[in-house]
Structure 1
Amino acid sequence: MSALKRVQQWATFARIWHLYDAAWQNPFDSAQVIKKHLMGLHKPIYHTMSQCGDVVVVINSADIALPGDEWKKRVYFHHTGYPGGASWTLAWELHEKDPTMVLKKAVYNSMDGNIQRRYTMQRLLIFPDSNVPKDILENISNQLRPLRKVPKRLDHYPEKEVKEFPKIIDYPKDYIVK
């Protein structure tokens, strides 16, 4: 076997660690990208019964963005297993309790029909902010491209650039904002 083929084979069967920044991303669209790498759908050796997927590390899950008024309308169901143990939790309440749970549930539900999704989810590491342990950061070798561009906040622009920006209207000096 030539050295090139050996490297190709190693790259096909190796578990690659991917980094995904979830800031300002829709968790349900992000789940499709994360699922593809967790299950190994991007590899030529993929089979439903094989564990050929990679590891995905997600950062900034506390900054996800649900479309429209999904924060108020999306409901998550949980049952304790005891009589009267059913509960429904709104998305904003669930996100407030655990900032990683909405994204985790989105990825789990995107793998519907996958018999091994419990084991596949063990390769998903979600962090609410960008503080990742050093031993995990050392393993990361690829970054997944975000689906949506993160907008730049106004206070992150230099003061000079803000002042030079063309104005639509100049308010009079005695104008009072109510």
Structure 2
Amino acid sequence: MSAAKRVQQWATFARTWHVFDCKWQDPYESAHVIKKYLMGLHKPIYHPMNDCGDVVVCINSKDIALRGNEWRKRAYFHHTGYPGGASWTLAWELHNKDPTMIIKKAVYRSMTGNLQRRHTMQRLFIYPEDKVPEDVMQNVTNQIRQIRLVPTRLDHIPEEEVKNFPKIMDYPEDYVLK
């Protein structure tokens, strides 16, 4: 086997580290994308009995976006394992307690049928902000593309760009808002 083929084979079987920005992303749509990389579905050598998945680092999990009334209507189940230990928690309450938990539960649930999903979830690192330990970030070699585009906030647009933006009309000087 030539050296080039050996390197290609090593790269195919190696675990790659990916980063995914969760800002303004739907956690349930994002979970299907993250699942592909965690399980290794994007690799040509994938097999259900083969553990060839990569490592995914999720950042900005506190800025996720749920659709419509999901924050108030969606409830998450948890059981402690003891009698009477069942509880239901609303999404906004769970997110206030732990901003990483909704992404974690969405990814875990998206891997139904995967017998190794508890082991696979150990390769998922979730951080509520973009502050990630340096030893984790130095391993990252790829960025997963976001599903939705993140709009720019109006207060983050420079004044010069706002002034140069073409206007449809100018208000008269004596105009009063009612």
TM value normalised by structure 2: 0.93
Q: Secondary structure at the match of 2:72?
A: helix
Q: Structure 2 matches for 1:31-110, cutoff 5 A? A: 31-110=31-110
CA shift for structure 1 position 172:
6.3
Partner of 2:7: 7
CA shift for structure 1 position 122:
0.1
CA shift for structure 1 position 169:
7.0
> What CA deviation, in whole Å up to 9, does each residue of 1:87-118 have, x standing for no partner?
11111110110000000000000001100000
- Structure 1 counterpart of 2:90, which letter? L
Partner of 2:176: 175
> What CA deviation, in whole Å up to 9, does each residue of 1:69-93 have, x standing for no partner?
1111111011122232221111111
CA shift for structure 1 position 174:
6.1
Q: Structure 2 vs 1, CA of residues 109 and 155 (structure 1 numbering), >3 Å: closer, same or farther?
A: same
Equivalent-residue separation in structure 1 for 2:162 and 2:8 (angstroms) = 50
Partner of 2:115: 115
Q: Structure 2 vs 1, CA of residues 174 and 35 (structure 1 numbering), >3 Å: closer, same or farther?
A: same
Partner of 2:153: 153
Consecutive unaligned residues of structure 1, counting only runs of 5 or more, are: none
Q: Structure 2 vs 1, CA of residues 168 and 86 (structure 1 numbering), >3 Å: closer, same or farther?
A: farther
CA shift for structure 1 position 50:
1.6
Partner of 1:30: 30
CA shift for structure 1 position 160:
2.4
| Identity in percent | 67
Equivalent-residue separation in structure 2 for 1:97 and 1:167 (angstroms) = 46
- Structure 1 counterpart of 2:171, which letter? D
Q: Is 1:143 aligned to residue 143 of structure 2?
A: yes
Q: What CA RMSD, in Å, does the superposition of the two structures yield over aligned residues? A: 1.6
